[in-house]
């Protein structure tokens, strides 16, 4: 999978996405500064959300349309929330341009057909399907039909939802799909992160897998990295004090920078399966145990548990020979502290 200039595969670095979402708080200047801050913090990409309140829901103040599921937005009507949170479409061109100037990949989550066509005009290099849209098969088909990488969050998905979404992509000839483990709570409790799913998604569906994270802190992204995540998405904000619908579970610049550093360190720690020692590790074997003469012994004297010991350093015979050497005689006088070798023993 290639998004912009970034190649994503099992051997690549983690592709780290800063999610702008509603964290511009209605200010284009804030949105632009957030993109620049994401670059400073080490993100590879900035992701937008492309919708309007009217493309997302109906302007109806009925009970069905009021949030009351224990979210941080409870009490709001959907249309009011999305009207507050959306990123104006007339900003997109400048946001894409600024991201390019900063060396960031810029792409978006479309929420209806018109958003897909709009993003096509901006040459968006990929499409992200948000968690709650995984059941919108027509939207997934539409986005996938453009032949660009598709990243799908699985926050509310059951197995059937994931399979239907993947089938939709493949039905239009798009096999460039990644699945992100996501917990659709805002913020998400860490004990509901279920990071074992990162590995299972990759193996079960033969895709790139990753994490769309709403937990507080960077523990979950680091764990995800250790389990094979190749994409990590985290909400990003200049300063939580500016407020906004997503502020409470978004990382500021320093927190995001710390997360990136922790993920990159985790990548180094994962390494590879290799039983060969580095030169430094080989030199460390000098401090392993080996067989040494523990008391002065004379020629013809028998080696016993008292005068032969396995101790550090590692210049003598391997301790695996200890039992076979006990009871043998030395053929010379040997001082205490001498590394034992075969030439010292009688045949």
* Of 210 and 277, the one with more pLDDT: 210
pLDDT computed for residue 186 by the predictor: 79
Q: Using alpha carbons, list the distances in angstroms from residue 102 to 41, 42, 98, 255, 300.
A: 12, 11, 6, 20, 79
For residue 73, pLDDT beyond 90: no
Contact 178, 208 (CB under 8 A): yes
Residue carrying structure tokens 């998604």:
201
- The CATH number of domain 2-51+86-270, selected from 3.30.70.20, 3.20.20.70, 3.40.50.300, 3.90.25.10: 3.20.20.70
Mean of the per-residue pLDDT values of the chain: 94
For residue 70, pLDDT beyond 80: no
69 conformational bin, left if phi > 0, alpha if psi -120 to 50, beta if neither: alpha
Note the Cα 278 to chain centre separation in Å.
27
Confidence of residue 104 (pLDDT cuts 50, 70, 90): very high
Confidence of residue 246 (pLDDT cuts 50, 70, 90): confident
For residue 69, pLDDT beyond 80: no
* Other Cβ atoms closer than 10 A to 314: 17
Question: What are the b/e assignments for 290-310, b being 16+ CB within 10 Å?
Answer: bbbbbeebeeeeebeeebbbb
Going by the DSSP 8-state scheme, the letter that residue 140 receives in this structure is H
Burial class of residue 256, CB neighbours in 10 A (0-12, 13-18, 19+) = buried
pLDDT computed for residue 157 by the predictor: 92
Q: Model confidence over 82-97: pLDDT tens digits? A: 898 899 999 999 999 9
Note the Cα 282 to chain centre separation in Å.
32
Q: Model confidence over 311-327: pLDDT tens digits? A: 999 999 999 999 999 99
pLDDT computed for residue 347 by the predictor: 85
Burial class of residue 239, CB neighbours in 10 A (0-12, 13-18, 19+) = middle
Confidence of residue 168 (pLDDT cuts 50, 70, 90): very high
Residue carrying structure tokens 């920078």:
257
pLDDT computed for residue 247 by the predictor: 87
d(CA 218, CA 225): 11
Q: Model confidence over 47-58: pLDDT tens digits? A: 999 999 999 999
For residue 281, pLDDT beyond 80: yes
CATH class of 279-344: alpha beta
- Which residue spans of the chain are classified as CATH 3.20.20.70? 2-51+86-270
d(CA 193, CA 211): 10
Contact 242, 250 (CB under 8 A): no
Confidence of residue 245 (pLDDT cuts 50, 70, 90): confident
Dihedral in degrees, nearest 10, Cα atoms 220, 17, 251, 157: -50
**What average pLDDT does this structure show over 99-113?**
98
pLDDT computed for residue 146 by the predictor: 98
For residue 345, pLDDT beyond 80: yes
Note the Cα 53 to chain centre separation in Å.
31
**What average pLDDT does this structure show over 195-210?**
97
- Which residue spans of the chain are classified as CATH 3.90.1210.10? 279-344
Q: Model confidence over 32-41: pLDDT tens digits? A: 999 999 999 9
């Amino acid at each position: 999978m290639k998004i912009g200039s970034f190649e994503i595969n099992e051997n690549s670095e983690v592709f780290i996405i800063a999610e702008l979402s509603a964290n511009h708080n209605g200010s284009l200047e804030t949105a632009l500064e957030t993109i620049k801050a994401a670059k400073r913090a080490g993100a590879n990409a900035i992701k937008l959300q492309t919708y309007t309140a009217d493309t997302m829901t109906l302007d109806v103040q009925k009970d069905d349309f009021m949030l009351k599921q224990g979210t941080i937005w409870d009490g709001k009507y959907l249309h009011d929330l999305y009207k507050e949170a959306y990123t104006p479409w007339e900003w997109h061109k400048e946001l894409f341009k600024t991201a390019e100037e900063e060396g960031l990949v810029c792409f978006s989550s479309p929420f209806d057909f018109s958003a897909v066509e709009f993003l096509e005009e901006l040459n968006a290099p990929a499409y992200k399907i948000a968690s709650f849209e995984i059941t919108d098969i027509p939207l997934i088909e539409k986005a996938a039909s453009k032949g660009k990488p598709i990243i799908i969050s699985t926050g509310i998905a059951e197995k059937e939802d994931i399979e239907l979404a993947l089938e939709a992509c493949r039905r239009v000839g798009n096999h460039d799909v990644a699945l992100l483990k996501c917990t659709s709570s805002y913020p998400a409790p860490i004990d509901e992160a279920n990071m074992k799913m990162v590995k299972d998604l990759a193996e079960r569906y033969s895709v790139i897998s990753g994490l769309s994270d709403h937990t507080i802190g960077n523990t979950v992204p680091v764990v995800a990295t250790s389990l094979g995540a190749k994409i990590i998405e985290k909400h990003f904000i200049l300063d939580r004090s500016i407020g906004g619908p997503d502020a409470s579970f978004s990382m500021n610049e320093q927190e995001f920078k710390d997360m990136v550093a922790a993920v990159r360190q985790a990548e180094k720690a994962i390494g590879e399966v290799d039983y060969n020692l580095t030169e430094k590790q080989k030199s460390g074997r000098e401090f392993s145990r080996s067989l040494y003469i523990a008391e002065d012994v004379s020629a013809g004297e028998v080696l016993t548990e008292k005068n032969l010991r396995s101790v550090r350093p590692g210049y003598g015979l391997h301790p695996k020979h200890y039992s076979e050497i006990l009871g043998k005689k030395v053929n010379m006088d040997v001082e205490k502290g001498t590394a034992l070798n075969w030439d010292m023993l009688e045949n």
